[in-house]
Amino acid sequence: MSTKAPTDDPGDAKLGVGQPKHYGAGIPGVLRALSAANQQMGARRSLLTLTSVNQRDGFDCPGCAWPDPEHRHAAEFCENGAKAVAEEATLRRVTREFFATHPVAELAEKSDHWLGSQGRLAEPMVLREGATHYQPISWEEALGLIADQLIALDSPQEAIFYTSGRTSNEAAFAYQLFVRAFGTNNLPDCSNMCHESSGTALTQTIGIGKGTVTLTDIETAELVIIAGQNPGTNHPRMLSSLERVKVNGGRIIAVNPLVEAGLTAFRNPQTVRGVVGGGTAIADDYCQIRLNGDLAFFQALNKLLVEADRAAGGSVLDHEFIREHTEGYEALVRHLDGLAWADLLRACGLTLAELHHVVDQVRSAGSVVVCWAMGLTQHKNSVPTIREIVNFLLLRGNIGRPGAGPCPVRGHSNVQGDRTMGINERPPAWLLDALERHFGLPMPRPDGFDVVQAIGAMRDRRAKVFVALGGNFVRATPDSRATEAALRQLDLTVHISTKLNSSHAITGRRALILPTLGRTERDHTGGREQFVTVEDSMGMVHASRGRLRPATEHCRSEVDIVCSLAERVLGNGLDWASMGSDYAVIRRHIAATIPGFDDFEQRVAGTAGFALPNGPPGCAKLRHRDWQGPLHREHVDHPRGSPGRLLLQTVRSHDQFNTTIYGMDDVYRGITAGRRVLFINPGDRLDLGFTEGQSVDIISEWATPDGMQERLAPAFRLVDYQTARGCLAAYFPETNVLVPLDSVAEESNTPVSKSIVVRLQASTHTGPAPVR
C-alpha cells in the first residue's frame, strides 16, 4: 500500500508495444485488480470495500451500468470496477498544502492520470480573481459565493448546470428541481456525448428512449449481435453474461472495426474452465466492418431478409407482427429494393458472402438481441443507424418478447437514472406538467443548452456561471482548445467532485472545488443513515449504501450540497432543508412525479430493487432513411476516403474509465507505460510510407461554409494492429482536440468522435511527448 501520490508526470517516456491479448479477464485480470486495490487502499480496506460492491446490502459500483445478476457471487466486480473503487476509496488526500505548493497554471499542464493519482479532495477550495493558487474556504462562504453570483445574473439562462452519470437518483432529482425552479433548462449532461443518439432514435421508433431487454433476455437470446462495443474493457461484467449466452446454446456475432480481446474469448476467473482451461470463445463470427459502416451493414441485412422473404413466400419475416405493431412496411421494402449493393458493400467493408452468412444465422434464431455502445452513437448518421437497427428487429418481431430487443449499453453507473430523474435540457412536457402540479411552481418551457450548445454559449459570453455535479467536463468534451477557452470566459466555475481533474485547472475568473462523498462512503447527513438509488442499463432501480468512513469531515453529500445551495438561492417555499436531511422526502417527491416509482421507498428498501416499466407501446414505426431523397429521407454519406485520408475513432484504454485514467497500460492491446499511440492497419501504414513505431502528427479535416478547418494532435506512435483498412484508433481524451465543436450527429447533436477524417504527417514535435 502507498498513501504517497506520484510527484512526477513522465508521459510516454517509457512507452512499450507488445502483442495484443486474445482473451479477456482470467487470473491476470484478478491480479491487476487486487494490485490496484492494495496499492490505494491496503489489504483490510480492500476486503471491506470489494466484498460490498454490487451486493444487496452494499454500494453500487461507481464504474459502468451493467446490471447485477439475480444470484450474485461474493466477488461481484470486475478488474475495472476494482480500480474505480480503489480510486475513490484511496487513502491519499489532496490537502490545502498541496494547493499551496502547486499553482493552477502548473496543474493545467499535468495529465489527468497524475491529477487523479493525488487522492481525494479534502476540503472546499476557492480560486479568487487574480490569484495563482487555490485557497481554503468554508462551506458557508463557498455556498454564499455561488448563491450571490447566481442571483446577480441578468437571466437564469446565463447559468449552466452540468451533470455526470455518477450522480444518484436523489441528487439528480433535487438538482433538476433546483435548476428549473431557478428558471432554466440548461441541464447538459454526459448523455449528450454518449447515448443521446440512442435515446433520440429509440424514442422516434418505439416510443421509449431506453433499451427494452432484461439481463435474462440477453442471456437466453438465441443470437446476440454486439455492434460498436468493447465489453472486455468498457463493461467487463458483461462477459459473464455473454458466457451464459454460449452455455445456453446461443450464438454471438461481433461487429467492430477493431479486433478486441474481450470479444474473442473470456477466461472467467470464477470457473475452473476459466482458470485452468482455455475459457469460453465469445464471438462465433467477427464482422470487421469499416468505421461508420453500421448503417450500411444493417440496411444490407434488412435487404437480404426482404429478398429471402419474397423468395420463400413470406415465411422469413414476421408478417403478423408487422401488421399488428408497425407502420410503413411497404415504403421500407421499396426503399431497401432501391439500395445498390455496390454502395452497401463499399460502405460496410464486408463481402456479400459474409452478409449472407450473418443473415443465415438471423433466420435460424428464434430471438435476437442487438447490443451497442458509443461505436454506434458518435457518428454523423448515428440516429439513422439506430433506427435501422430497430427496423432489423421489427421485421422478425424481435421486440417486446423474451430474449429479444434493442440494448444500448450505458457507460456510467447512473447515467440512465439521471435522465429518468429529469436531467434533460429538452424536458418532455409531461415532466414539466407533473413538477408544476406537485410543487405548485411554474417550470421553464424553452429548451436549454446541451453540451455542445453550452460550450458555444460560454464562448460567446451568453453564459457566465458553470456548475458541474461531478465529471471532468473539459476532458469529456470535443474541441479541447475551444472548450478550454470557453470555460476561461466565465465569471465563476464550480465543481462538486471527489477527485482532482483537469477541469479544476481550467477555470473562470473565480473557481470553487467542493468535495463530495463517494459511492463507497457512509452518508449520515441529517444525523441519520442515508442511502441513495441508481438505475442500471436494463431499467432496474436499486439502493446503494456506502461502507467506509468519509474521506474527511469536510466532505458533504451531493444531495446536501444541492439542497443547501437551492435554499440560499431560491427561498421559494420548497422545503429544501427536509429534502437535504432526509432523502426519503426526495423519494416521495419522485414517486409523485416520475412514472414507475409508485411506493418508491417501500419497493427499494431492503430489497434487490425493482424494474421500471420498460417496453415499446402497441404500435412502433418502421423508419427508413435513403441515400438521398425528399423530406423525411436523409442523404447518408459514408466517407469514401480521399487519397491519403483515413477515418479515426477515439477509444478507451483498458486502464481507463471515461476520462479517469487509472494507469498507463492497455494490456489487451499490448501497450505499456504510454497513451499517445495510433493503431493502424499495416497495409495502410505501408501505403502511406511510414515505418512501424514512427512518430506522426494527426491532422483532422472538417469542411465548413467558411472553408476547411484543421486540428492537430502531435506526436503519436504508429502501432500495427488488426483494424479494418482505412480505419485508425487512438485514445481519448488525447484526441478530443481533433473533433471540431460543430462536428455533430444529426438530430442528437452528439460530437462525432468515431469517424474523424484525418491525414498523417511525420511528426515535427520536438522534446518529450505531451502528457495531455
Q: What is the DSSP string of 25-68?
A: EHHHHHHHHHHHHHHHH-HHHHHHHHTTBT-TTSB--SS--PPP
Distances (CA, A) of 259 to 283, 411, 412: 11, 20, 24
For residue 751, the one-letter residue type is P
Rounded CA-CA distance 197/355 in Å is: 25
**pLDDT of res. 673:** 93
For residue 378, the one-letter residue type is Q
Higher-pLDDT residue of 628, 402: 402
- Residue (of 65, 138, 59, 146) closest to 468 by Cα position: 146
First to last CA, the chain: 27
Rounded CA-CA distance 397/391 in Å is: 10
Instruction: Give me the mean pLDDT over the 465-478 stretch.
Output: 96
**pLDDT of res. 747:** 95
Instruction: Give me the mean pLDDT over the 438-467 stretch.
Output: 97
- Residue (of 624, 621, 631) closest to 332 by Cα position: 624
- For residue 8, pLDDT over 70 is answered with no
- Residue (of 430, 471, 443, 521) closest to 162 by Cα position: 471
700 pLDDT tier (thresholds 50, 70, 90): very high
- Residue (of 422, 429, 472) closest to 451 by Cα position: 472
- Residue (of 348, 373, 360, 372) closest to 284 by Cα position: 360
Distances (CA, A) of 454 to 157, 468, 729: 10, 12, 28
Tell me the three cell numbers of residue 305: 431478409
**pLDDT of res. 166:** 85
769 pLDDT tier (thresholds 50, 70, 90): low
Distances (CA, A) of 78 to 38, 198, 444, 474: 15, 26, 42, 28
- For residue 770, pLDDT over 90 is answered with no
For 421-443, b/e burial (b = at least 16 CB within 10 A) is bbbbbebeeebbebbeeebeeeb
- For residue 623, pLDDT over 50 is answered with no
Rounded CA-CA distance 140/144 in Å is: 6
E strands, 365-460, in order: 368-372, 405-408
Residues shown for the chain: 772
Give the pairing type, strands 510-515 and 492-497: parallel
Task: List, in order, residues 6 or more apart from 459 with CB less than 8 Å away.
Answer: 482, 485, 486, 489
- For residue 701, pLDDT over 70 is answered with yes
Distances (CA, A) of 86 to 164, 305, 653, 754: 19, 48, 18, 30
* Paired strand residues for 660: 657
Rounded CA-CA distance 103/106 in Å is: 5
**pLDDT of res. 537:** 84
Residue 617's φ and ψ, nearest 5 degrees, are -70, 180
- For residue 630, pLDDT over 60 is answered with no
Tell me the three cell numbers of residue 436: 408544476
- For residue 718, pLDDT over 70 is answered with yes
- Residue (of 574, 728, 738) closest to 258 by Cα position: 728
pLDDT above 90 as % of the chain: 71
Higher-pLDDT residue of 512, 194: 512
Task: List, in order, residues 6 or more apart from 132 with CB less than 8 Å away.
Answer: 103, 104, 105
- For residue 116, pLDDT over 50 is answered with yes
Rounded CA-CA distance 91/106 in Å is: 24
| CA 505, chain centre distance (Å) | 23
- For residue 627, pLDDT over 50 is answered with no
- Residue (of 97, 453, 26) closest to 239 by Cα position: 26
Higher-pLDDT residue of 85, 284: 284
Q: Is the peptide bond before 257 cis (omega within 30 degrees of 0)?
A: no
Tell me the three cell numbers of residue 602: 417501500
Look at the block and give the residue holding cell 415465411: 315
- Crossing angle of helices 583-593 and 169-182, in 10° steps, is 70
Q: What is the pLDDT of residues 382-410, one digit of tens each?
A: 999 999 999 999 999 999 889 999 999 98
Residue 85's φ and ψ, nearest 5 degrees, are -65, -45
Instruction: Give me the mean pLDDT over the 544-549 stretch.
Output: 89
- Residue (of 764, 760, 751) closest to 701 by Cα position: 760
Instruction: Give me the mean pLDDT over the 610-624 stretch.
Output: 64
Rounded CA-CA distance 115/504 in Å is: 10
Lowest mean pLDDT among 43-47, 315-319, 445-449: 43-47
Rounded CA-CA distance 352/287 in Å is: 12
- For residue 235, pLDDT over 50 is answered with yes
Rounded CA-CA distance 69/83 in Å is: 21
Distances (CA, A) of 331 to 153, 304, 326, 335: 52, 16, 12, 6
